[in-house]
Amino acid sequence: MGLLKSIFTWWDGATIGTSLYTRRNGSKVGEDSLGNVYFQDGKSGRRWVIYSGANDASRVPPEWHGWLHHTIAEAPDVALPPARTWEKAPAPNRTGTVEAYRPSGALEEGGHRARATGDYEAWSPNQA
């Protein structure tokens, strides 16, 4: 099943096409704290990531996102200063998961919200 999965799926790691292209043209540039591996094609300058786990772009840390989009020329560990002590670690997008933010008026939270306080006045096109 491993070979068939790598041929036909893209959402969990690299497809066989990406793996072949990476072996042929890619040179490893670095790896982030999540285990994602970053590559660059020396001829064309293309840059790409092979995820460790689910392919979710929100799992790319900000510094590597900048490198992927050619904002910085060198790998982040060379080009950027070390992280500040007050910086939070990046978090993946939680939309669609149990951990997603749901305000008190959301359907998942009962669908009841506080009534308007009366400071809102609806617009009417016929009103001058």
DSSP category for residue 34: T
Mean pLDDT of the chain: 82
Domain edges within the chain:
2-83
DSSP category for residue 128: -
- Secondary structure class of 98 (helix, strand, coil): coil
* Model confidence, pTM: 0.65
Q: What's the pLDDT tens digit per position in 8-30?
A: 666 666 667 777 777 788 889 99
Continuous segment of H or E residues that includes residue 102:
none
How far apart CA 51 and CA 27 sit, in angstroms, is 16
Q: What's the pLDDT tens digit per position in 49-80?
A: 988 877 888 889 888 999 999 999 999 988 88
E strand segments, the chain: 26-31, 37-41, 47-50
How far apart CA 52 and CA 59 sit, in angstroms, is 10
